[in-house]
Amino acid sequence: MLLIQNAIIVTHDEEQQQDILIENGQISALATHIPVTEAMEVIDAAGKLVAPGFIDVHVHLREPGYAYKETVKTGTMAAAKGGFTTVAPMPNVDPVPDSREHLAVLEALIARDAAVKVEPIASITLDEQGETLVEMSELAPKVIGFSDDGVGIQEANTMYQAMLAAKKIGKPIIAHTEDDSLKNRGYVHEGVYAQQQGWRGIPSVCESSQIARDITLAEATGCHYHVCHISAKESVQLIREAQAKGISVTAEVTPHHLVLIDEDVKDSQGKMNPPLRAQADREALIAGIIDGTIAMIATDHAPHSEEEKARGLELAPFGIVGLETAFPLLYTKLVQPGIISLTKLIQLLSMNPADVFQLYDRGCIAVGKQADLTIIDLNKTAPVDPQTFVSLGKNTPFTGMELQGWPVMTLVDGKIVYKEKE
């Protein structure tokens, strides 16, 4: 048995001090005071926030195939350090998890190396080529959804057939939305700033036009359609209107799209896909999380080697790492200024992804739930230092930024998987 004493738990914007008793990997009791017995191991969380373990439905663990960028071991260790107890890796690896045989390669790595819970996502099409659909019914028991992340499904009929198949088995289509014909070989947001710098831009309509198409298909099929890493104000409005009509559409946004804009891009560390967009887009994304249009925050943790990111803005790969900085970044930039409440942030990181992706045994602190917990020192302030990351990826635009509110311990099924060095 494990007893966490003096935990600060946030419920409906009220802070309550509670003791949490954990037995057999589950929360067995919650009370203002639980007497200590000899059978208990005790953790004193006095002055610390204890939150339900964060759930990230969009990460890149890079294995199998690209272990020089990240591994299941290092990626899940980074997740644990950042307070995440469940992650869902995207399928753009080698081999792509497009069959039971290929998925088994990833499952073996997870069984051997994962520090936290890993919920795989299978591809929509074979080898993510956008043509032949995978056998979804065969893969469904092993995955939480289907995505050709990294590339948008270009053919409307392919997406239509995918949604019909996913609806039959009760799984979501998790869509990277990008119309290749509108990319224009761009590598930043198409706007005034890009024009001033002489950079090729990717217009917002590259994203929103495919979302508009897919919403129509989701309405026709009744499929649960989940939109990855939205970035544009037009996308937010399309999703808001679709939800008002009762269409089964959910969406995620990244921490970096909530706190940065295109003018913050100085070099390849600020290059991601979708790109950082204008201030009006950032404001629309924030409005979307406040009113519930956007259900969750996902990091899109995308590690690359330092050599790859050193190729310069135009040639470097898209993507930044995010697992180890997500909570302090969001706490510092959104909660402390009063833009959103701490309760709202925890909903976006824990409760909502658990609910949307039917991970009902986790995502909240309650008796009977799995003891996936994150202990956070809300008073701890430290600069972002990529050299301290446990992720192999050091590619971040936040280097040197002073942030407050850092996870200091993470538990999965009641077992400590990360503890801050004293």
Domain ranges of the chain: 2-49+370-419, 53-356
pLDDT over 70 at 13, yes or no: no
98 is catalytic: no
Q: Which of 149, 281, 300, 372 is catalytic?
A: 300
Angle at 355 between CA 286 and CA 70, to 5 degrees: 75
The predicted pLDDT at position 14 comes to 76
Q: Can you name the CATH fold of 2-49+370-419?
A: Urease, subunit C; domain 1 (2.30.40)
pTM for the full model? 0.97
The predicted pLDDT at position 10 comes to 85
pLDDT category at 15 given cuts 50, 70, 90 is confident
Digit-coded pLDDT (tens) for 140-170: 999 999 999 989 899 999 999 999 999 999 9
Share of the chain above pLDDT 90, in %: 97
Q: Can you name the CATH fold of 53-356?
A: TIM Barrel (3.20.20)
Domains 2-49+370-419 and 53-356 in one fold: no
The predicted pLDDT at position 11 comes to 72
Give the chain's mean pLDDT: 97
Digit-coded pLDDT (tens) for 332-350: 999 999 999 999 999 999 9
Number of helices (H) and strands (E) in the chain: give both, helices first.
13, 17
Digit-coded pLDDT (tens) for 48-88: 999 999 999 999 999 999 999 999 999 999 999 999 999 99
Digit-coded pLDDT (tens) for 258-314: 999 999 999 999 999 999 999 999 999 999 999 999 999 999 999 999 999 999 999
Nearest to 267 by CA among 206, 312, 332: 312
Task: Judge contact between 314 and 299, C-beta under 8 A.
Answer: no
pLDDT category at 377 given cuts 50, 70, 90 is very high
Count of beta carbons in the 10 Å neighbourhood of residue 131: 12
Digit-coded pLDDT (tens) for 242-258: 999 999 999 999 999 99
